[in-house]
């Protein structure tokens, strides 16, 4: 059985999460596993287990949680959050963890590529003249192929 | 006052004025004899709320067959007359003219000194959980509905059936914590305390009632079987009854397409996703306060808790926030029957103290008729056969039984009664006794356990000795159990009546011994329970002697820091000790040891030694409050490393404000140390709450401290559950472990390490701790000597055994001896105090009388035939037999004898006879049983 290394854990991680909107009730979890039993992703891939993610976060295993590809599998269906008897906002916590993962450079390559696309084009699916030609044929107005406002939204880059 | 509600309360403790609004019943209770003809004739069928709407009743109804008073009422909302202006069928057919459509609402004013609130609770309505489909699917029922399904008086007469197709379910699932421990779908974040046990009971009863072997599964989060003998019940359910316990909260209940079955998805303890079909699902609904009760509390100005229960303090567990108003039962926090009964007696004790000046000011003297001498007279037997409404007459052909009774020897009169126990029937009984010169009476009805005293009272009023009476049970033991076979049931009723008549003819008048009561109580034990019991009795005006083995008062409470509600134990304890020491009615015997006990209820003589000085205390009652102690662990490095302590040792550090606690980086608690183990199977009840309380206190001292609690089931029952949530929110991490894989403690290079497996993550964890707290068991003193001195039984573990687990939790079967505190079972301070008050209340029922009467049903030894073999003495469980060496015979002490008959069975020379069940009388019954 694998050992959980508390030496490298960050005991403040749970308090850090609890300070952020959506994360306030993370520590209320009493491990009833309603979330796991409700999760449509767990139903197809048992390795995705919302309770385990919460539990690892409570132990302070920040790197393992943020570096895990599982947080990215959450489909944000809210079934877990709706059913949690302790009012833990599990879906919100997944979003929170995803944001933290990106900040700490843990996003998987596909997500990073999408992020770059949004930053440069304002869209995940960029448009070019070819698309506008097709739109014209269908009597649709053209759409902008670049998005200048993204520079204001991400000023530091 | 039924159908009544309180609309206002004025005044203060000792002098309240209560305004009451009495709603119309439309049936005159003075005239109604509960015959049920009105309901039979009423054309309007409505859902029966008593049977959880699974069955029907009429618009004129009694709630259930055993209702008190057994008087009908008209349900105005459903009555055709009130709706359409005509019908009045009930009025037409009522033989007593009891129906009164003109009945009006009325306001009443009551003058009282004290108020006791016992409004109870209601159950949670699970339609608020749409995913559980209670409203949509007939085979998803609440635990209350299932309770009615299992009941003989329920919609299916006790046959296990599911509502959709009336088929017997083969697989039933119970879902725990529906409407409890949930603050998302409802605001009930407390634990309802009772659901774990009732679900286990329902599963066992379902298995008993089922014709085939069925599969019962209970889905739970923490199994809370923290009551006396509950853990054994749980273990037996799992091991002997093969009930499955699945640790998983179920998120939804799905309908199975194309069938009436249900599908339950869950994650098992191996973290596998399972979807399992069931024929029926029971939702274990929790308790919650009715809005009307919350309103009432507001009207009375009584404070409520977060869960809308009545707010009380640990040291005043049945006093509300308003003086003179007391509380008991589920309104004072969710609880089971034993605890409710304890609180009921406790509230009575508190009012007895408040109203002590008024005691005996409103009593009326009873007139007693002179007893007729029947010796030597030919028996003239009256037989009264009861219909019990339709309870008996619906199955047994009562008229046939009555006609048969007329043919039996010595029977002078026979009568059928609709309800033999009704006031008018009792009047008739009295009349017939004198009219027909009856000198023996047989009532063929229900259980003598509940009704015999009522008929005996009537005999006394008619001038007959009350032992010239025999009751035979043709309801519980006949009509109820042979519902499907009226012929056999009628035959059996005749057999039973024939036997009773044969016995009653041989009965003789018996004498009751009158015993004078010494109005002093002896309380054994000077802990919180003993002191509270003593103080309550002393405050009621009785003299009390406290015997304490140690040199000071206080007991285990001396080691405790705070109660679960946060009150300071030492401060409250000091106040209590002071008030006991200075009480004029209390005398103390410290460092005392019990030597010998003689006597019986009303007249005990206890010899004790204090510092080698012998003393004798004469007292009327005894309260046993000897407590229990903390188990000193034999595992987890306890005693080998100073960092490993028990939970009361940690409390000592808190009390002493030990500065080393500030330095701790990591603290670990291990639960169930010495409890719930094969050789000590019970749960010590207080440890989960106590550890959580201590963990929270450590966190308050140092918020960055890492605190872990390793547990098997967290048992923070009732509103203690808030503490559990508070602890989690404070960052305390709870790690469950199983009995088969306990944590391992080792010391390596001076580092205290605790290895545990987190099953939820399937990972090993190594905790390096500066403090390891062991939640060690509470163990009884197993005081054999005390048990023998007062003839009070002990269970296998060494706790004393009460007279009845539910109905008499604070007294012994031995009359005049009472029980409270941890000598009964481990319990927290608030519950110990409630039970101490309850024991005082029960004891006062004897102390408040000048005399008590001992039953006439006792054994007698014929000295002519007794050979002095002392066989009877050896079998007597009450120590009621003495051997006289000079005459070489045994003799029964009538005051101590309980009439069990063990001596009579043991006597080789037949010189012992149990009065009221002599060999002759029993053989007469047996002969008649076989002669049918």
Q: pLDDT digits over B285-305, tens only? A: 999 999 999 999 999 999 999
Name, in order, each residue with C-beta under 8 angstroms of A102's C-beta and a sequence gap of 6 or more: A111, A115
Mean local confidence (pLDDT), B856-867: 94
Chain A closest-CA separation from residue B222 CA (Å): 9
Does residue B895 sit in helix, strand or coil? coil
* B766–A38 C-beta distance less than 8 A: no
Contacts of B757 in chain A (CB under 8 A): 1
Chain mean position to CA B411 = 41
Give chain A positions within 8 Å (CB) of B704.
11
- Best of A2, A29, A37 to disrupt the B interface (most B CBs within 10 Å) is A37
User: How is residue B511 annotated by DSSP?
Assistant: P
CB contact under 8 A, B183 and A32: no
Tell me: the pLDDT tens digits for B140-196? 999 999 999 998 778 888 889 999 999 999 999 999 999 999 999 999 999 999 999
Residue B203, φ and ψ in degrees, nearest 5: -65, -40
pLDDT of residue B535: 98
Identify whether the C-beta of residue A49 lies closer than 8 Å to the C-beta of residue A78. Answer: no
Which pLDDT belongs to residue A156? 65
Chain A contact for B273, CB < 8 A? yes
Query: Is B463 a residue whose pLDDT tops 80?
Result: yes
Mean pLDDT confidence for B629-634? 96
Share of chain B above pLDDT 70, in %: 100
Interface test with A, best of B175, B219, B273, B766 (most A CBs within 10 A): B273
Cβ neighbours of B734 in A, within 8 Å: 30-31
The C-alpha of A97 sits at a distance from chain B's nearest C-alpha, in angstroms, of 19
Where helices occur in B280-331 by DSSP H, the ranges are 291-300
Considering only CB atoms, which chain B residues are within 8 Å of A30?
Answer: 181, 221, 714, 724-725, 728, 734
Residue B812: pLDDT band with limits 50, 70, 90: very high
Least confident range of A78-87, B111-120, B876-885 = B876-885
> For the CA atoms of chain B, what is the radius of gyration?
31
Q: How far is CA B392 from CA B51, B398, B486, B581, in A?
A: 21, 8, 10, 59
User: Of B528, B518, B524, B626, whose CA–CA distance to B580 is shortest?
Assistant: B528
| B429-444 residue pLDDT tens | 999 999 999 999 999 9
A123 phi/psi in degrees, rounded to 5: -140, 160
- Assign 3-state DSSP to chain B and report helix, strand, coil percentages, each to 5: 30, 25, 45
Using pLDDT thresholds of 50, 70 and 90, give the confidence band for residue B481.
confident
How far B642 CA lies from chain A's nearest CA (Å)? Answer: 24
Note if the bond before B415 is cis, omega within 30 degrees.
no
B916 contacts B900 by C-beta, under 8 angstroms: no
**Contact partners, residue B22, CB within 8 Å, separation at least 6:** B1, B3, B4, B105, B106, B107, B108
Give the pLDDT band of residue A126 (cuts 50, 70, 90): confident
Q: Is B181 on the interface with A (CB under 8 A)?
A: yes
- Report the relative pairing of strands B543-547 and B520-524 from DSSP bridges: parallel
Chain A positions in Cβ-Cβ contact with residue B249 (cut-off 8 Å)? 32-34, 37, 85
The mean predicted confidence, pLDDT, of chain B is: 94
Q: Cβ(B557)–Cβ(B829) under 8 Å?
A: yes
Confidence of residue A144 (pLDDT cuts 50, 70, 90): confident
Residue ranges of alpha helices (H) inside B628-720 are 647-655, 687-701
* Residue A83 CB-density burial (10 A; 0-12 exposed, 13-18 middle, 19+ buried): buried
A3:B765 CB<8 A: yes
Please write the tens of the pLDDT for every residue from B740-773: 999 999 999 999 999 999 999 999 999 999 999 9
Residues of A with CB under 8 A from a CB of B: 1-4, 6, 11, 14-15, 25, 27-34, 36-38, 42-43, 46, 49, 51-52, 55-56, 58-59, 79, 83-87
Identify the weakest region by mean pLDDT among B172-181, B570-579, B885-894: B885-894
Burial B485-497 (b: 16+ CB within 10 A, else e): eeeebbbbbbbbb
pLDDT recorded at residue B562: 97
Confidence of residue B873 (pLDDT cuts 50, 70, 90): very high
Closest by Cα among B229, B234, B230 to B218 = B234
Mean pLDDT, residues B333-353 taken together: 97
Residues of B in contact with A37 (CB under 8 A): 248-251, 265-267, 273
Among A63-77, B189-203, B362-376, B766-780, the least confident range: B362-376
Q: pLDDT band at B424, cuts 50/70/90?
A: confident
- For residue B15, the surrounding DSSP H or E stretch is strand B15-22
Q: Best mutation site among B267, B692, B711, B769 for testing chain A: the one with the most A CBs within 10 Å? A: B267
- pLDDT beyond 80 at B932: no
Residue B755 is predicted with a pLDDT of 97
Quote the ipTM score. Answer: 0.90
Given CB atoms, is B930 within the 8 Å cutoff of chain A?
no
What residues of B are in contact with residue A31 (Cβ under 8 Å)? 734, 736, 760
Mutate to test the interface with A, among B131, B133, B189, B251 (most CBs of A within 10 A): B251
Cβ contact B763–A3 (<8 Å): yes
The torsion defined by the Cα of B492, B496, B499 and B501, in degrees rounded to 10, comes to -130
Beta bridge partners of B741: B738
Average pLDDT of chain A to the nearest whole number: 92
Closest CB to B267 among A36, A55, A84 = A36
Query: Is B266 near chain A, with CB under 8 Å?
Result: yes
pTM: 0.90
Residue of A nearest to B222 (CA): A32
Q: Is B729 an interface residue toward A (CB < 8 Å)?
A: yes
**What's the gap in Å between the CA of A20 and the closest CA on chain B?**
14
Which pLDDT score is estimated for B516? 93
- Given pLDDT bands bounded at 50, 70 and 90, which one contains residue B136? very high
Q: Distance (Å, rounded) from C-alpha B238 to C-alpha B218?
A: 10
The tally of CA atoms less than 13 A away on the side-chain side of residue B660 is 9
For A46-69, the pLDDT digits (tens) are 888 999 999 999 999 999 999 988
- Report the gap between the CA of A153 and the closest CA in chain B (Å): 36
């Amino acid at each position: 059985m694998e050992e959980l290394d508390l030496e490298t854990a960050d005991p403040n991680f749970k308090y850090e999460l609890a300070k952020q909107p959506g994360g306030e009730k993370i520590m209320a979890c009493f491990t009833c596993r309603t979330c796991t039993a409700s999760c449509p992703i767990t139903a197809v891939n048992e390795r995705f287990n919302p309770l385990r993610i919460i539990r690892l976060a409570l132990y302070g295993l920040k790197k393992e949680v943020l570096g895990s590809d599982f947080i990215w599998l959450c489909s944000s269906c809210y079934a877990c959050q709706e059913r949690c008897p302790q009012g833990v906002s599990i879906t919100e916590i997944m979003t929170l963890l995803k944001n933290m993962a990106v900040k700490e450079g843990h996003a998987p390559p596909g997500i990073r590529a999408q992020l770059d696309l949004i930053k440069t084009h304002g869209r995940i699916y960029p448009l070019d003249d070819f698309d506008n030609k097709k739109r014209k044929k269908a009597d649709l107005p053209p759409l902008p192929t670049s998005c200048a406002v993204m520079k204001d939204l991400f000023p530091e880059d | 006052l039924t159908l009544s509600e309180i609309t206002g309360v004025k005044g203060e403790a000792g002098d309240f004025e209560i305004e009451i609004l009495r709603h119309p019943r439309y049936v005159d209770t003075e005239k109604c004899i509960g015959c049920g003809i009105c309901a039979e004739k009423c054309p309007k069928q409505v859902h029966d709320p008593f049977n959880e709407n699974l069955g029907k009743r009429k618009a004129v109804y009694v709630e259930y067959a055993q209702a008190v008073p057994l008087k009908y009422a008209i349900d105005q909302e459903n009555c055709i007359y009130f709706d359409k202006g005509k019908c009045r069928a009930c009025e037409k057919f009522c033989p007593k003219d009891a129906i009164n459509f003109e009945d009006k609402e009325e306001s009443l004013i009551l003058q009282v000194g004290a108020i006791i609130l016992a409004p109870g609770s209601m159950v949670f309505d699970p339609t608020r959980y749409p995913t559980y489909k209670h409203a949509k699917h007939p085979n998803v029922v609440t635990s209350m509905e299932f309770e009615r399904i299992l009941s003989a008086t329920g919609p299916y007469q006790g046959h296990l059936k599911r509502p959709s197709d009336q088929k017997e379910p083969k697989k039933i699932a119970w879902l725990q914590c529906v409407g409890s421990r949930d603050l998302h779908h409802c605001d009930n974040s407390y634990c309802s305390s009772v659901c774990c046990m009732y679900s286990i009971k329902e599963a066992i009863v379902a298995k008993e009632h089922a014709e085939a072997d069925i599969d019962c599964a209970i889905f739970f989060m923490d199994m809370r079987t923290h009551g006396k003998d509950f853990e054994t019940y749980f273990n037996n359910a799992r091991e002997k009854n093969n009930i499955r316990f699945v640790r998983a909260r179920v998120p939804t209940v799905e309908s199975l397409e194309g069938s009436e079955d249900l599908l339950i998805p869950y994650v098992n303890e191996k973290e596998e996703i399972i979807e399992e079909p069931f024929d029926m699902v029971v939702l274990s609904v929790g308790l919650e306060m009715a809005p009307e009760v919350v309103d009432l509390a507001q009207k009375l100005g009584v404070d409520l808790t977060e869960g809308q229960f009545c707010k009380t303090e640990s040291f005043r567990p049945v006093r509300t926030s308003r003086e003179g108003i007391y509380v008991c039962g589920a309104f004072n926090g969710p609880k089971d029957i034993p605890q409710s009964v304890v609180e009921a007696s406790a509230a009575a004790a508190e009012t007895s103290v408040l109203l002590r000046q008024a005691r005996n000011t409103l009593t009326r003297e009873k007139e007693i008729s002179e007893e007729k001498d029947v010796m030597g007279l030919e028996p003239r037997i009256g037989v009264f056969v009861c219909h019990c409404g339709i309870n008996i007459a619906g199955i047994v052909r009562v008229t046939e039984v009555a006609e048969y009774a007329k043919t039996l020897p010595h029977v002078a009169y026979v009568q059928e009664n609709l309800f033999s126990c009704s006031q008018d029937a009792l009047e008739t009984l009295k009349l017939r006794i004198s009219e027909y010169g009856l000198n023996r009476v047989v009532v063929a009805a229900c259980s003598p356990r509940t009704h015999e005293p009522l008929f005996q009272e009537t005999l006394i009023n008619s001038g007959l000795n009350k032992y010239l009476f025999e009751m035979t049970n043709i309801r519980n033991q006949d009509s109820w159990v042979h519902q499907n076979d009226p012929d056999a049931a009628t035959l059996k009723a005749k057999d039973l009546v024939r036997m009773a008549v044969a016995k009653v003819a041989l009965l003789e008048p018996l004498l009751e011994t009158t015993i004078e009561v010494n109005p002093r109580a002896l309380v054994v034990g000077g802990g919180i329970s003993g002191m509270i019991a003593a103080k309550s009795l002393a405050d009621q005006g009785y003299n009390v002697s406290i015997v304490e083995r140690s040199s000071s008062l206080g007991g285990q409470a001396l080691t405790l820091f705070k109660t679960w509600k946060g009150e300071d134990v030492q401060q409250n304890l000091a106040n209590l000790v002071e008030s006991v020491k200075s009480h004029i009615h209390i005398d103390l015997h410290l460092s005392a040891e019990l030597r010998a006990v003689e006597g019986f209820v009303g007249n005990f003589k206890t010899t004790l030694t204090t510092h080698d000085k012998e003393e004798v205390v004469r007292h009327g009652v005894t309260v046993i409050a000897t407590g229990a102690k903390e188990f000193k662990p034999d595992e987890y490095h306890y005693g080998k490393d100073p960092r490993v302590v028990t939970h009361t040792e940690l409390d000592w550090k808190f009390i002493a404000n030990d500065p080393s606690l500030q330095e701790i980086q990591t603290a670990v608690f291990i639960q169930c140390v010495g409890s719930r183990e094969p050789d000590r199977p019970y749960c010590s009840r207080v440890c989960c709450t106590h550890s959580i309380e201590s963990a929270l206190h450590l966190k308050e001292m140092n918020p960055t401290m890492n605190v872990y609690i390793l547990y098997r089931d967290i048992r923070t029952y009732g509103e203690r559950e808030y503490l559990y949530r508070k602890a989690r929110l404070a960052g305390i991490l709870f790690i469950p472990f199983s009995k088969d894989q306990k944590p391992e403690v080792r010391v390596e290079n001076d580092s205290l390490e605790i290895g545990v497996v987190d099953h939820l993550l399937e990972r090993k964890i190594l905790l390096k701790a500066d403090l390891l707290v062991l939640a060690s068991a509470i163990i009884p003193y197993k005081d054999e000597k005390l048990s023998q001195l007062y003839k009070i039984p002990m269970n296998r573990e060494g706790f004393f055994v009460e007279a009845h687990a539910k109905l008499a939790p604070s007294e012994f079967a031995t009359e005049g001896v009472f029980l409270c505190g941890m000598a009964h079972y481990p319990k927290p301070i608030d519950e110990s105090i409630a039970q101490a008050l309850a024991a005082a209340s029960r004891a006062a029922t004897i102390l408040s009388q000048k005399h008590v009467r001992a039953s006439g049903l006792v054994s007698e030894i014929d000295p002519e035939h007794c050979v002095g073999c002392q066989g009877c003495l050896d079998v007597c469980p009450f120590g009621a037999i003495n051997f006289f060496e000079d005459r070489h015979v045994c003799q029964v002490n009538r005051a101590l004898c309980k009439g069990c008959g063990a001596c009579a069975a043991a006597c080789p020379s037949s010189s012992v006879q149990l009065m009221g069940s002599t060999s002759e009388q029993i053989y007469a019954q047996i002969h008649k049983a076989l002669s049918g």
